[in-house]
């Protein structure tokens, strides 16, 4: 992993934000805490409107016998007119307003983290509904396929440096544009996102990014029909932060399942980005085996070739997952991992090797997860240097939003 020196002031600011988040989260989450429901498995998967206004009755107070005749005479013409043409009054009031499909129910007992999640979903869903109307007739937008994740945390590396880890990604359907098309929006490491180098979920959240460079990325995706276990997808997007550029991706996914609880995965991604006319390709191969009901063993290797790499930029993992939900009744899991990475044309082709232990658990809410990683690795950057070892610790909080995760 690339070691990035962060200025002390910036490092302290990130550390202060993350520590504040970690200290406030338990107390606020317990305020209005709800009973946790089972959520997505920890192991990687093998494959208001208000009612119409009432009429003002303040002027219909009875004036007494002496004024009854005058009031009756005044009211009869109005009643006759209203009964003769009711459509005039209906037209004046206008059609009733449909409830906003992106607005989720609220509660007085909500903690700030509940409001944060609901606000993020409302912003993403509302923007998607507004944008989708540009491509066709206005309609009631279906928010059930709008989903995403927000994560934030810290990584302490072998050199004694604190590095901030934050990520945002959202899946946004656009039914007026195409039923198989979606928009995507996120903040991630641009290089790894475009090259698909972060697709292997064997790596813990805190270790999936090799640098602190984060950029906003947005674009469109298309998923044509495919066969079982085999599919293609395409993306056209842009980096919209500093030094923007456009990129395209063509992605192929193939998974072969066998009856003895094993699976073979092959992923291929071709990509191009306009800055410096850079072409590249990433190949991923993984083998999964379920020796027991609560365990999953995965061996995976990935390589990227582009104008930016020195030969083949590679990384490999051997991971054993253990699902703890079977005996605890709560989504949680632990994994043990061996890792190695490097570049074939570098002076030191094997840059790093080591091991990690990763613990992931659902906390306080069915959509809130925490991930703790502890590892030790040996790194060598230059041939003249000796290989140095150091401990690495990662802590990440992840919020999932959207009905997609709620239904899993």
State the Cα–Cα distance between residues 302 and 304, nearest whole angstrom.
7
* Local confidence band at 139 (pLDDT 50, 70, 90 cut-offs): low
Question: Is 47 part of any domain?
Answer: no
pLDDT at 20 over 60: no
Question: Is 89 part of any domain?
Answer: no
Nearest to 345 by CA among 396, 308, 294: 308
Q: What domain range is 348 assigned to? A: 8-32+100-406
pLDDT digits 0-9 by tens, 150-206: 999 998 887 778 888 788 889 888 887 777 788 888 888 888 888 887 665 455 544
Q: Which residues pair with 304 in a beta bridge?
A: 282, 313
pLDDT digits 0-9 by tens, 281-299: 999 999 999 988 889 999 9
Q: In this structure, what CATH number is given to the domain that contains residue 334?
A: 2.40.160.40
Question: Is 61 part of any domain?
Answer: no
* Local confidence band at 96 (pLDDT 50, 70, 90 cut-offs): low
- Number of separate domains in the chain: 1
Q: What is the mean pLDDT of the chain?
A: 75
Question: Is 374 part of any domain?
Answer: yes
Q: DSSP per residue over 232-276, as a string?
A: EEEEEEEE-SSS-EEEEEEEEEEEEEETTTEEEEEEEEEEEETGG
Q: pTM surpassing 0.75?
A: no
Task: Pull the structure tokens for residue 189.
Answer: 């490491």
Q: Provide φ and ψ at 8, rounded to 5°.
A: -60, -45
Q: Which residues pair with 353 in a beta bridge?
A: 340, 378
pLDDT at 252 over 90: yes
The 3-class secondary structure across 138-165, one letter per residue, is CCCCCHHHCEEEEEEEEEECCCCCEEEE
pLDDT at 56 over 50: no
Question: Is 52 part of any domain?
Answer: no
Question: Is 287 part of any domain?
Answer: yes
- E-strand spans in 96-224? 147-156, 162-173, 181-188, 215-222
| pLDDT number for residue 408 | 53
pLDDT: is 20 or 336 the higher one?
336
Burial group, residue 113, by CB count within 10 angstroms (0-12, 13-18, 19+): buried
Nearest to 365 by CA among 30, 109, 27: 30
- Average pLDDT value for residue range 1-14: 41
State the Cα–Cα distance between residues 270 and 247, nearest whole angstrom.
11
State the Cα–Cα distance between residues 371 and 9, nearest whole angstrom.
26
Which residue bears the tokens 């007739």? 137
Question: Is 48 part of any domain?
Answer: no
CB-based contact 146:173 (threshold 8 Å): yes
| pLDDT number for residue 356 | 92
Question: Is 194 part of any domain?
Answer: yes
| pLDDT number for residue 162 | 85
State the Cα–Cα distance between residues 396 and 313, nearest whole angstrom.
26
């Amino acid at each position: 992993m690339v070691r990035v020196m962060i200025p002390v002031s910036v490092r302290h600011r990130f550390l202060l934000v993350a520590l504040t988040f970690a200290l406030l989260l338990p107390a606020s989450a317990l305020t209005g805490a709800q009973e946790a429901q089972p959520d997505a498995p920890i192991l990687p998967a093998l494959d208001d409107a208000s009612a119409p206004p009432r009429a003002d009755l303040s002027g219909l107070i009875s004036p007494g016998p002496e004024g009854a005749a005058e009031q009756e005479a005044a009211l009869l013409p109005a009643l006759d007119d209203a009964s003769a043409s009711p459509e005039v009054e209906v037209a004046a009031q206008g059609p009733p307003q449909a409830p906003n499909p992106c607005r989720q129910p609220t509660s007085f007992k909500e903690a700030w983290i509940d409001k944060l999640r609901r606000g993020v979903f409302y912003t993403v869903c509302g923007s998607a509904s507004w944008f989708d109307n540009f491509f066709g007739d206005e309609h009631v937008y279906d928010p059930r396929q709008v989903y995403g994740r927000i994560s934030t945390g810290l990584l302490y590396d072998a050199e004694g440096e604190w590095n901030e880890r934050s990520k945002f990604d959202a899946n946004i359907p656009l039914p007026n544009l195409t039923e198989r098309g979606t928009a995507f929006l996120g903040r991630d490491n641009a290089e790894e996102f475009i090259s698909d180098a972060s697709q292997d979920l064997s790596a813990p959240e805190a270790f999936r990014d090799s640098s602190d460079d984060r950029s906003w990325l947005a674009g469109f995706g298309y998923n044509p029909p495919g066969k079982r276990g085999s599919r293609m997808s395409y993306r056209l997007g842009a980096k919209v932060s500093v030094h923007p550029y456009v990129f395209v991706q063509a992605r192929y996914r193939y998974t072969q399942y066998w009856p003895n609880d094993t699976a073979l995965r092959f992923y291929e991604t071709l990509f191009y980005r306009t800055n410096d006319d850079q072409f590249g390709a990433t190949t991923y191969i993984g083998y999964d085996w379920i020796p027991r009901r609560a365990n999953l063993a995965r061996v995976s290797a990935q390589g990227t070739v582009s104008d930016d790499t020195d030969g083949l930029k590679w990384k490999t993992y051997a991971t054993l997952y253990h699902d703890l939900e079977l005996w605890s009744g709560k989504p949680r899991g632990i994994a043990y991992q061996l890792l190695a990475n490097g570049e074939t044309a570098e002076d030191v082709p094997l840059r790093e090797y080591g091991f990690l232990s990763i613990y992931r658990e659902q906390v306080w809410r069915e959509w809130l997860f925490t991930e703790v990683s502890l590892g030790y690795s040996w790194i060598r950057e230059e041939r003249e240097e000796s290989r140095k070892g150091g401990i690495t610790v990662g802590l990440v909080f992840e919020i999932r939003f959207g009905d997609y995760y709620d239904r899993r």
